[in-house]
Amino acid sequence: MQTHEIRNRFIQHFVKAGHTEVPSASLVLDDPNLLFVNAGMVPFKPYFLGHQTPEFNTATSIQKCVRTLDIEEVGITTRHNTFFQMAGNFSFGDYFKEGAIKHAWSLLTGSIEDGGFGIPAEKLWVTVYLDDDEAHDIWANKVGVPEDHIQRRGMADNYWSMGVPGPCGPCSEIFYDRGPEYGVDGGPEADEDRYIEIWNLVFMQNERGEGTGKDSFEILGPLPKQNIDTGMGIERVAFLLQGVDNVYETDLLRPVINAAEELTGSTYNANHADDIRFRVIADHSRTGLMLMLDGVTPSNSDRGYILRRLLRRIVRSARLLGAKGEVLDRLIGVAAETMTPSYPEIADNWERIRRVAVAEEKAFTKTLAAGEELFAQAATKAKSEGKTILSGHDAFTLHDTHGFPIDLTIEMAEEAGLTIDRAEFDREMAEQRARAKADSQAKKKSHTDLHVYREFIDNNPTVFTGYDRLADESTVVGIVSGGEKTSSASEGEEVELILDRTPLYAESGGQMADRGRIVTADGAIVDINDVQKVGKKLWLHKGIVTAGEFAAGVAAEAQVDEKWRHGARQAHTATHLIHAALREVLGQTATQAGSMNKPGYLRFDFKYGEQLTADQLRQIEEITNEAVDRDWAVNTTEMPLEEAKAAGAMALFSENYGDVVRVVEIGGPFSMELCGGTHVAHSSQIGPVSVLGEASVGSGVRRIEAYSGLDSFRYLTTERLLAERLATEFKAPSAELPDRIAALADKLKAAEKQLADLKAGQLLANAASHLDSARTIGDVTYLGLNLPAGTGMKDIRSLATDLSKRLADRPSVVALIADGGQKVPFVVAVSDQAVDKGVKAGNLVKLMGEKVGGKGGGKPSMAQGSGSDASGIEAALAAIESELA
């Protein structure tokens, strides 16, 4: 049974049982505890935590998940993936243990013809929590599982929580018996390689307190409602139903291994070490694909670092298997082919994904080249010191600082006749992991307490009326101050007002919140400086009481600052036009990666791997302003999500949309996007749009900035006045200014070069006179000079080389230094005869660096460096003298 069919059977089974199908959320969610979604229940956490009321009592989903705690272990075991699909069914106060158990059992054991998986009942074992007699009774007496196929296990195995204070409860796990050829008899307690867990049914009934680990926390008491959270591993069920030995040989991953065999010339199932590398390639290719699909790009921190590490492990593994050229394009392409039937959005985003992957491989190829050079230096040093072991510290520095994989370091060491001090390397790796884990735990925190808002979310959701009006009559249904609900607030207090209806826009979709005020008939006023959403349904109006006293239940008028709203509308609508212009100029893969707009200003992040040219920026600005000039109507329509997508509306796959969405259309096919923001009525109301420029904000992501409306006009006025002033200074029309300025810059560069050449020539011409300052210290001739201020490194190095040659007939040391302005450059040159006596330039420049607040390095005969403290120049020269003495 193909994986895509397994997915469909699961969803259809629960839809027929009355569950609402919920699409997978993005792998990237705004959660303080998670880099990526790592479990099927994560998108439903607000419901389980009581922060939001679900729109359904039961739901089913197949959630994309990524777990990266043990990346180094991938491929060693044959049942774990970094990316996996978690099929789940959920009950929010509806059915409980019996319902969850019977739903799972009927799907697993139901016949193929009836839509089930057709697994023989005798192949299945179940576990329950130690004292969960209710679950045990259901399995034994209502489902009919034999007693000898039910095992009770402790808290570490069969009690679930999120790892932080919140919902928790006992669970029941379902295992599949692979047969005696895979291990010993005796059920999951005896052997979890033979008995594979395929489904976990969590009976969420309690609330846990503080604590660490899986079994060292306090149970505080029962939850108000009993909930069900289950998870069935699609990949695990797939390898069992497809009759293969492990998750890497299923229809989704084996094609990637086949492609890797073609690229490398190696064979899968030939030896264990190579098999691990093939599995790493297959697993990471799919995970990297899905992360890039959801907008992650390679970087040196957080999510981007994980992606970079995965992609580079693919390249490394392929090289160790024998690959000679680039591999990511092909490998991730095959992963895309296997995953597209379940995730059709891959096809729409493939060119962007491919471009990011190829660029990362090219960058890593350069890293490998640099790493090989650094390795060569370390190996040469070790051999020169008569060592056969390369220090673990050097190997760790290559791995951690320069991104050079340890496997390649070991391989190159063997080729050079060296071994790695692996114990020292592992020790430093363990220390780094401990630091990272401690940092992760420090950042981990309990979920924000939103219970103060819960009654309002359930009973008084805010009605937003701001699309049609700038003022509206409201009732103050609640007041929150200092995190606590209060009945009133007086002048000077900072408050959050909750209204039954409001025209003030709450920050979302990149648009900043409205500014405004809330006033009562008796003159009480709150100046609103921010509006935020809670639970997607409640507007919190944040501000300061500037007059009178507010009380819960009072009637009030909410007023939007009209000037602020007008500027915000202009900028937000301009953002849509710039997005459309970007796609017209750069292609359809230049999609949104984030935005921010406020009155008069916008910034727009988009996925693109190259710097834009001046001509591309000009085209984007021109197309945007042409759209403004055409005075297109800005039409907004509400429609079902699938209908909106079918009509061509742009949707971000990292966003969660409801069943009914708001579509903003400008100029027919020119721009059509899902958007909940506020907009002008016609494009001409935006006014001029001035593109300020663009820059990189991360690997594969660029940012464009622009002004709109009066801010754009003011910017253009300033630019015009500047051009007029320059035209006056140069006595030339403004159209000729670029050529005039370029010519002047060329003349200036030529003059600077000529001056530099003259200074260098003068330094060298006076070289012979400097020899008179040389003196003998012991049996070494020493020449130390403080050169004229402003002398640069290039000239210092040339003079040092010249003077060293003049003193090459004896043991000699030349030390030169100068106050270069912002830096203090210095060079030490040592003759071969002095090197033979043990004098090394690299050691001497370190002494100089200590005195001038800098550092340096180089070869024994020539080294250089720079510092920042010119007051230490004489001390630096004296340090050389002292060392030679």
Residues in binding site: 572, 576, 675, 679
The letter for the amino acid at 52 is: Q
Looking at the DSSP bridge assignments, the partners of residue 857 are 864
SS3 of 146-192: the string is CHHHEEEECHHHHEEECCCCEEEEEEEEEEEECCHHHCCCCCCCCCC
CB 18 within 8 A of CB 58: yes
Instruction: Say which residues have a Cβ less than 8 Å from residue 727's Cβ, sequence separation at least 6.
Output: 733, 734, 737
What distances in angstroms separate CA 171 from CA 48, 130, 168, one per listed residue?
Answer: 16, 10, 9
Can you tell me whether residue 675 is helix, strand or coil? Answer: coil
Q: Nearest 10 degrees: CA dihedral of 468, 472, 478, 479?
A: 100
Looking at the DSSP bridge assignments, the partners of residue 666 are 634, 671
CB 460 within 8 A of CB 514: no
Q: How many Cα atoms are found within 13 Å in the side-chain-facing hemisphere of 409? A: 29
**Which segments of 492-646 are extended strands (E)?**
494-499, 501-502, 516-519, 525-534, 538-547, 549-551, 555-560, 592-598, 601-607, 634-640
Q: How far apart are CA 248 and CA 256, in angstroms?
A: 9
CB 565 within 8 A of CB 470: yes
243 phi-psi bin (left φ>0, alpha ψ -120 to 50, beta other): left
Count H helices and E strands in the chain, helices first: 25, 35
CB 445 within 8 A of CB 164: yes
Parallel/antiparallel/unpaired status of strands 195-212 and 824-830: unpaired
User: Which of 457, 464, 639 has its CA nearest to residue 50?
Assistant: 457
CB 494 within 8 A of CB 483: no
Q: What is the DSSP letter of 23?
A: P
User: Which of 343, 286, 355, 351 has its CA nearest to residue 314?
Assistant: 286
Sheet holding 592-598, edge to edge: 592-598, 601-607, 701-708, 689-698
Binding-site residues for Zn(2+) sit at: 572, 576, 675, 679
Q: How far apart are CA 527 and CA 654, in angstroms?
A: 34
Q: How far apart are CA 617 and CA 239, in angstroms?
A: 51
20 phi-psi bin (left φ>0, alpha ψ -120 to 50, beta other): beta
